[in-house]
Structure 1
Amino acid sequence: MVDVAVRTVSPDWLVAFRMSFGAGLVLVYAVIAGHRLPPLRDKRWVWYSVLGLTGASLPFVLIAIGMKSVDSGLSAIIVGAMPLITIILAHFFTDEKLTAWKLLGFVMGFGGIIILFLPTELSLTLVKDWQAQLLILMGATCYALTTVIASRAPETPSPVAATMMLFMGALISVVWAYAHSGPPTVPNATALFCIIALGLGSTGAATVIYLWVIDMAGPSAIARINYFVPVCSVILGVWLLNEPLDWRIFVSLAVIILGVIISKLGGAD
Structure 2
Amino acid sequence: MKSRDLIDLLLLAAIWGSSFLFMRLAAPAFGPVALAFVRVAGAALMLLPLLVWRGEWPALRAHWRLMLVLGLTNSGLPFLCFGYAALTLPAGLASIFNAATPMTTALIAWAWLGDPLSRPRALGLAIGFAGVAGLALQKSLAGGTLGGWQLDGGAALAVGACLLGTLMYGHAGNFSRRHLSGVPAMALATGTQAAAALALAVPAALTWPATPPSPAHWAMAAALALLCSALAYILYFRLIARVGPTSAATVTFLVPVFASAWGALVLGEALTLPMLLGGLVILAGTALVLGLWPRRRPAAAA
Query: Where do 1:154-193 residues align within 5 Å?
Result: 154=180, 155-179=182-206, 181-182=207-208, 185-193=211-219
* Aligned partner letter, 2:161: L
Deviations 1:233-255 (CA, angstroms, capped at 9, x unpaired): 11111221234667875565454
Change (3 A) 1:122 1:69: closer
Question: Which residue of structure 2 aligns with residue 73 of structure 1?
Answer: 92
CA contact (8 A) 2:30 2:213 kept: yes
1:3, 1:68 within 8 Å by CA — same for their partners in 2? Answer: yes
Letter matched to residue 256 of structure 2:
P
Q: CA deviation at 1:227?
A: 3.1
Compute the displacement of 1:81 (Å). 1.4
- Asked if the contact 1:62/1:139 (under 8 Å) is kept, the reply is yes
- Aligned position for 2:179: 153
Question: In structure 2, what is the Cα distance between the partners aligned to 1:39 and 1:81?
Answer: 30
CA distance in 2, matches of 1:255, 1:138: 25
| Equivalent position amino acid for 1:223 in 2 | A
Q: Which residue pairs with 1:28 in the alignment?
A: 49
Q: Percent identity?
A: 24
Query: Which residues in structure 2 correspond to 1:175-214 (within 5 Å)?
Result: 175-179=202-206, 181-182=207-208, 185-214=211-240
The CA deviation string for residues 94-135 of structure 1, in whole angstroms up to 9 with x for no partner, is 364101222223333344455536974699xx9633432232
User: Is 234-243 or 101-110 further displaced after alignment?
Assistant: 101-110
For residue 156 of structure 1, give the secondary structure of its aligned residue in structure 2: coil
User: Following superposition of structure 1 onto structure 2, how do residues 217-232 of structure 1 map, counting pairs within 5 Å?
Assistant: 217-232=243-258
Number of residue pairs the alignment of both structures matches: 263
Which has more helix, going by share of residues?
2
Deviations for 1:250-269, whole angstroms, at most 9, x for unmatched residues?
5654544443334445779x
Gaps of 5+ in 2: 1-21, 297-302
Change (3 A) 1:231 1:195: same
Is 1:63 matched with 2:89? no
Following superposition, the deviation at residue 166 of structure 1 comes to: 1.0
Select between 211-220 and 105-114 the one with higher mean Cα deviation: 105-114
> Could you tell me how far 1:222 is from its partner in structure 2?
0.9
Aligned to 2:35: 14
Q: Is the 8 A contact 1:178 1:184 kept in 2?
A: no
Instruction: Give me the whole-angstrom Cα distance separating, in 1, the residues matched to 2:199 and 2:242.
Output: 28
Shift of 1:85: 2.1
Q: Following TM superposition, by how much is the alpha carbon of 1:192 offset from its aligned partner in structure 2, in angstroms?
A: 0.6
Separation of aligned partners in 2, 1:227 and 1:112: 9
Is the contact between residue 6 and residue 14 of structure 1 (CA under 8 Å) also seen in structure 2? yes
CA distance in 2, matches of 1:208, 1:20: 16
Measured after TM superposition, the shift of residue 216 of structure 1 is: 2.2
How far 1:79 sits from its partner (Å)?
1.0
Distance 1:57 1:8, change over 3 A: same
Aligned residue number for residue 144 of structure 1? 170
**TM-score of the two chains, using structure 2 as the length reference:** 0.76
CA offset digits 1:199-228 (Å, max 9, x no partner): 111111222222122122211331233333
Contact 2:34/2:208 (CA < 8 Å) preserved in 1? no
Equivalent residue in structure 1 for 2:106, among 76, 81, 87: 87
For residues 213 and 260 of structure 1, do their structure 2 counterparts lie closer, same or farther at Cα, with a shift above 3 Å needed? closer
CA–CA distance in structure 2, aligned partners of residues 19 and 201 of structure 1: 11
Q: TM-score, normalised by structure 1?
A: 0.84
User: Which amino acid is the alignment partner of residue 173 of structure 1?
Assistant: L
Which residues of structure 1 form unaligned runs of 5+?
Answer: none
